[in-house]
Each structure stands twice: as structure tokens, then as C-alpha cells.
Amino acid sequence: MLAPEVETRPSAEQHARDDASYRAQLGYLFDRSVFYREKLGAAGFPSADSAGGLAEIAELPLTEKRELRLTCTADDPIGSHLCAAPSEIVRIYSTSGTTGTPSYIPLTTEDLDNWVTASARSYAASGIAAGQRIVSTYNAGPFVAGAALAAFDRIGLCHIPVGTGNTERLLMAIELLRPEAAVLTPSYAAYLVEAAAERDVDLRGSSVQRVLVAGEPGGGEPAFRAQLEHGWGARVTEAMGVGDIGVSLWGECEEQQGMHLGARGFVHVELIDPETGAALELLDGATGELVLTHLRHRAAPLLRFRTRDHVELWTSPCRCGRTTPRVRCLGRTDDMLILRGVNVFPSAVREVVNAFAPDVSGHILVKPRAPGVKQEPPLPVAVELARDAAPDAALAEAISQRLRGALLFQARVELVPFGSLHRSEYKAKLVER
Ligand SMILES: [Zn+2]
């Protein structure tokens, strides 16, 4: 544990500290943030005092990403939530958004240091420790993942960056430099299991004992994780960040019971009902959309930011001794489909299908018939067969039945030959749009 005093602190004590940080952060927003002064004023909160403390936070309005974007102009490309002077900004990341202009994420020296501190705690939770070697596969470039790489230095690891999309170079680095850990997206981790088999490389027998996955949901789903652990002969844990809030805010420990909040003290966590926006109680097993608030951020702090991540959350202490809340990401709102009132996440479909290994390869593609979120059943799902497996109507029927039983929607399963669905060396595309 990198910061045992913080990570094992009783929750009530942490809450009192966070409440003090939050009140100071609100004061800072009213002083410096044009965006929040206007937004909170319009909602009936003319001052920091009128907004109260953490106990009253759910009375304040939520912040959507598009609201921030709407305030961006040529003169103000970051947006009106920028609080720091240009001389205080030491780094400007961009989001990897696929549409239009990127949105910019500025950081002060202190913000960047806090990001690295939180990220280091999250990654260290996996059990990697100073003196070990880690090979990374992120082409961080302009993206916030760059700050996660600094976390490896902070932990004291020997970091071997090889970048994305060069499988030969990665397999060679593993063979020659013998790292104890590898960090990559779960899709790329799955791709490498197949790539190694095709090249007669013994990944299971390699030096890698820990595979740290991040960047997309899936690494915490039991069947998918089992497949990765079998292929790598290694323990798989996951980490998760939210670009606008912080990099690798969450990281899973060796108990594999969800990702711990590494950003404790820097970020306040809420869950809401994504339909109504109503705050939900943080009980063990609660599910909802993750809403995050900066507690000590300077450059462009956010209040009640909707992350679009649907998570399951636990607040009971973990066997590892940490008292921080834990989450597992169920999927992104953006990927969610609704069939007759039932929310369906493509990563959850993949998880159900994966239970049919070794008959299936683990690759799926959901093919909505209509644009938009609402779909009429049956929902077409292409399921790739394992290498050398023949199509079998009984298998397709069994998968459909299991999907109906587990996820409560009617699917039309189409079995497709091995190798026919796209493999990703970065993030998997599970929905055809
Ligand atoms: Zn734990």
C-alpha cells in the first residue's frame, strides 16, 4: 500500500476531511469559476455558504460534458470553467473524443502531482512494487494516460514503454527484458493471447505475473478475466480513470473485488439514477451512473460531473485492509441500448457469451437495427466461434437463452467463423453503428 494512512482511514474520518476540502473548493469556484458562479447562481445558490457542505451536495445541479463544451470559444478554447491564470498551467491534455474539436484539460503543478499520486496508489493496489519491471503499451501522446505513466516512476518501477500496435516489439520486450507486469487495454491483452499462440510464443510461461488492464470496461468481468488469466498465466486487475476528472482514479487490489478509489481525498464519489438524475445511497451492490466532484483541484475543477460510466459500487471494507469505496464498470451510457425498458450493455453481452468458451472465441458484435438507444427485440448479436469450431444451431439457441435469462432481453444470435470479427490493438468496438 503506497499510502496506508489514507487508504485504510475510517470512512467517517475521511468524510470529515473531504467535507472541509469541499467547502474550500466551493469557495474557490465562487471566486474564480465564471461557469460555476453563473450555474450555481441560476440554481438559487448565490454563494459558497448557501451551497452548504457534502451532506447537501445532491441539491446542487449536475454538470454535463456538453455544457462545458458550449462555453468554449476561439478566445476561450478551454471553457469558462477555467479558474487558473495561464502562468499557473503546466500541462494541457486533450480528450480522445472522436467527434469535432478536442476538449482541453489543463492542470497546475499541484493538480498534476495529485493526479500522479492517485494513479500511483491505484496501480500499486495491484501488487506491483518498487524494483519490478513493467512494460506499457499506451501511445499516451496528447491524452491523460500520459500522467499514468508518471505513476510508474512514482511507485519506483522500471518502466519499459513500447507503445501500441507493435506486437512483435512487445513480445520481444517480454522475452528479452523479462518484466513482471504488463499494462494494456483488455482488448489488446486478449489480442495478444491469440497473437502469441499464432507465433508459438509461450505467454503463459513468460515472466509476466501481473496484467494491469485499463482504458475500457471488461477487465473485471469474471469470464473475460478468466480467459485473460488463463492465456497470460498471470493475475489480471483493472484500473479506471475519467479524462476530465483524473487519470486512473480507481485501481483493483489482489482480492479482485472491484477497483479501489486511489484518488481518495482528491475526488468525491456519488451515484445517480441516470434517467432521473436522483442521487442514490452508496450501499454495497448499488448500481448507477458515477458522478464525481473535485475536492482540491485548481486549473478547471468540476462539480457533480456526470461521467457516463455505469458502475456497481461497494463501501464495505475490503479484505486487503483498504476502506476506500470500490467500483466495477458495467459499461458506458454511450454504448447502452434499451430493449423494452431493459438496459443492455455490450460488455455484459460479451461476458455472458464468454461463458460458452471454449466453443466461442470471445469476440462479439452487437448490431442494432435502428439508430439511437431504443431497440425493438430481437437484438442481433454476432458471436464468433472458436478456431476450428463449426456452426451449430443448438449453440446459438443456448446462447440466446442464456442472454435472455441473465440480461432479460431477446437476442438473435448469429454464429460467425473464427477470425471474421475485427480485433483491436487498442479498444474493442462492441457495437456496429
Ligand atoms: Zn482491496
Instruction: Tell me the CA–centroid distance for residue 315 and ligand 1, in Å.
Output: 11
Burial readout 278-300 (b: 16 or more C-beta within 10 A, e: otherwise)? ebbeeeeeebbbbbbbbbbbbbb
DSSP 330-355: EEEGGG-EEETTEEE-HHHHHHHHHT
Distance 319 CA to ligand 1 centre (A): 6
Q: Residue 160 in contact with residue 128, Cβ under 8 Å?
A: no
**What Rg, from alpha-carbon coordinates, does the chain have?**
22
Q: What is the DSSP string of 215-281?
A: SSTTTTSHHHHHHHHHHHTSEEEEEEEETTTEEEEEEE-TT-SSEEETTBTTEEEEEE-TTT--EE-
Enter the C-alpha cell of residue 240: 479506471
Tell me, in angstroms, the distance from the centre of ligand 1 to residue 9's CA.
Answer: 13
What cell does 90 get?
A: 503546466
The CA 14 to ligand 1 mean position distance, Å, reads 17
Q: What is the pLDDT along the chain (433 residues), one digit of tens a residue?
A: 999 999 999 999 999 999 999 999 999 999 999 999 999 999 999 999 999 999 999 999 999 998 999 999 989 999 999 999 999 999 999 886 655 678 899 999 999 999 999 999 999 999 999 999 999 998 777 788 888 889 999 999 999 999 887 899 999 999 999 999 999 999 899 999 999 999 999 999 999 999 999 988 888 888 889 999 999 999 999 999 998 999 999 999 999 999 999 999 999 999 999 889 999 999 999 999 999 999 999 999 999 999 999 999 999 999 999 999 999 998 887 788 989 888 898 988 998 999 898 899 989 999 999 888 889 999 999 999 998 888 899 999 999 999 999 999 999 999 999 999 988 777 778 888 7
**How many whole angstroms from 127 Cα to the centroid of ligand 1?**
11
Between CA 216 and CA 332 the distance in angstroms is 9
Please state, in angstroms and as integers, the Cα–Cα distance from residue 283 to each residue in 190, 270, 320, 338, following that order: 33, 11, 19, 25
Three-state DSSP at 284 gives coil
d(CA 147, ligand 1 centre) in Å: 23
Pairing of strands 342-344, 360-366: unpaired
Alpha-helix runs per DSSP H in 88-166: 109-124, 145-155
Ligand 1 mean position, distance from CA 222 (Å) = 17
Give whole-number Cα distances, 145 to 128, 292, 365, 403, 422, in Å.
18, 19, 27, 34, 24
Q: Compute the distance from residue 321 Cα to the ligand 1 centre, in Å.
A: 6
Span from the CA of 304 to the centroid of ligand 1 (angstroms): 26
| Nearest-angstrom CA–CA distance, 402 and 239 | 29
Q: Which neighbouring-strand residues pair with 267?
A: 264, 294
Q: Ligand 1: distance of its center to the CA of 122 in Å?
A: 11
Cα of 260 vs centre of ligand 1, distance in Å, is 7
pLDDT value at position 100? 65
pLDDT at 40: 98
Q: What is the pLDDT of residue 120?
A: 98
Element (H, E) at 413: strand 411-416
Q: How far is the CA of 317 from the centre of ligand 1 (A)?
A: 8
**Residue 36 Cα to ligand 1 middle (Å):** 36
Distance 255 CA to ligand 1 centre (A): 6
pLDDT at 293 (0 to 100): 98
Burial of 101 (C-beta count, 10 Å sphere; 0-12/13-18/19+): exposed
CA distance 134 to 138: 12
CA of 124 to the centre of ligand 1 (A): 11
Owner of C-alpha cell 519491471: 133
Ligand 1 centroid to residue 144 C-alpha, Å: 25
> What is the 119 CA–ligand 1 centroid distance (Å)?
16
Measured in angstroms, how far is the CA atom of residue 382 from the centroid of ligand 1?
36
Distance 322 CA to ligand 1 centre (A): 6
What are the distances in angstroms from CA 218 to CA 134, 426, 428?
21, 13, 10
Pair type for strands 210-213 and 104-108:
unpaired
Residue 41 Cα to chain centre, angstroms = 32
Say how many Å lie between the CA of residue 62 and the centre of ligand 1. 30
Between the CA of 5 and the centroid of ligand 1 the distance, in Å, is 15
Tell me the helix, strand and coil percentages in the chain, rounded to 5.
Answer: 35, 25, 40
Question: Which residues have a Cβ under 8 Å from the Cβ of 378 and sit 6 or more positions away?
Answer: 410, 411, 412
Q: Strands, DSSP E only, in 66-225?
A: 89-94, 104-108, 133-136, 158-161, 181-184, 210-213
| CA 279 to each of CA 11, 55, 373: distance values in angstroms, whole numbers, following the listed order | 19, 12, 23
The whole-angstrom separation of Cα 367 and Cα 346 is: 10
| CA 352 to centroid of ligand 1, rounded, Å | 25
pTM of the predicted protein model: 0.89
